[in-house]
Amino acid sequence: MISASEFRNGITIELDGDLYVISDFQHVKPGKGAAFVRTTLKNIISGGVVERTFRPTEKMPRAHIDRKDMQYLYKDGTLYVFMDTESFEQSEINESDVGDTLRFVKENEMVKILSHNGNVFGIEPPIFVELAVTETEPGFKGDTATGATKPATVETGATIKVPLFINIGEVVKIDTRTGEYLGRV
């Protein structure tokens, strides 16, 4: 159990049968009346954001999230197959549970599988990946002064915006959280 006075960013709690991560909190001590804690909570499973206030003495269960390193093997129809690199046990996860989190992940790369009480609810890809550009329009000399970008498809099939000087076959570094081009490799 964790009391509202101990809230910090990144802590996960169970509230009304759902899992929430605290994305913002503020301890408020008004001049008149009792103190309270104003929070912004993000539902881990649905992604919805809720603002809620608590009394500092209110207690709620802390949610324990398991993060397990697994290797992404391949996609089989609507199932994604992962392998535990310690026990070599394979797990299958539905396409609906994965969403678009694997759009920058190649086969045989390591990811973190997120679960709560044995129920998988999400996947964390590596923060930065290096992928080859497979399709893009050619850039023209003189167009780079404005910082313009063009769409490019990488080897996983995802489309990102890259500077005009990037050509097919070049390897680029991508931030998987935002889908942003970071530079050449």
Sheet order of strands, 128-136 included: 159-163, 149-154, 128-136, 171-175, 180-184
> Could you tell me the domains of the chain?
2-60 (2.30.30.30), 66-124 (2.40.50.140), 128-184 (2.40.50.140)
What is the rounded distance in angstroms from the CA atom of residue 41 to the CA atom of residue 86? 34
The values of phi and psi at residue 53, to 5°, are: -110, 145
pLDDT by residue for the chain (185 residues), tens only, comes to 888 888 888 888 988 888 888 888 999 898 888 899 999 998 887 778 999 999 989 999 988 888 899 999 998 888 889 999 899 999 888 887 777 888 899 999 999 988 888 778 788 899 999 999 999 888 666 555 567 788 999 998 899 999 888 888 999 999 988 889 998 88
What is the rounded distance in angstroms from the CA atom of residue 184 to the CA atom of residue 164? 12
| 112 CB-near residues (< 8 Å, 6+ apart) | 67, 68, 69, 70, 123, 124
Tens of pLDDT, residues 42-78: 888 777 899 999 998 999 998 888 889 999 999 888 8
Q: What is residue 176's DSSP assignment?
A: T
